[in-house]
């Protein structure tokens, strides 16, 4: 799968740049990995809108959701605390300030 085929139209129009390792993973066509499933366009947009309302000030690209919890894996696009390309595991619905459950420095 090409990264442009996966990226929701809203993200493509914003000229989002994803890390090469993420694009390479998308190219494998895998939909599930270790208890996570890849979000489709509708899911990515819905999660982005929801997380944006709950935790404003952070521009992220949700790309996967945990099968057994409310955790969402998100690629940081613009954030005052985390650099571009960082992956945040966000617990959807947690109180603001404690929503980030894990920080992964890169997709590689």
pLDDT single digits (tens) 35-91: 888 888 789 889 999 999 999 999 888 989 999 999 999 988 889 999 988 889 999
Q: What is the mean pLDDT of residues 1-24?
A: 57
Region 95-108 average pLDDT: 87
pLDDT in tens, 17-51: 666 766 677 777 778 778 888 888 789 889 999 99
User: Closest Cα to residue 18, out of 60, 56, 52?
Assistant: 60
Is 5's pLDDT higher than 60? no
pTM summary value: 0.79
Main-chain dihedrals φ then ψ at residue 16, nearest 5 degrees:
-70, 135
């Amino acid at each position: 799968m090409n990264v442009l085929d996966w990226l929701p139209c809203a993200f493509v129009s914003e000229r989002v740049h994803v890390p090469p390792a993420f694009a390479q993973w998308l190219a494998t066509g895998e939909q599930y990995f270790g208890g996570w499933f890849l979000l489709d366009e509708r899911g990515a947009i819905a999660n982005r809108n929801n997380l944006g309302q709950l935790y404003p000030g952070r521009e992220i690209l949700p790309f996967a959701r945990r099968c057994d919890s409310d955790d969402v894996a998100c690629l940081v696009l613009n954030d005052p605390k985390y650099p571009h390309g960082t992956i945040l595991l966000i617990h959807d619905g947690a109180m603001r300030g404690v929503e980030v459950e894990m920080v992964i420095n890169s997709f590689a």
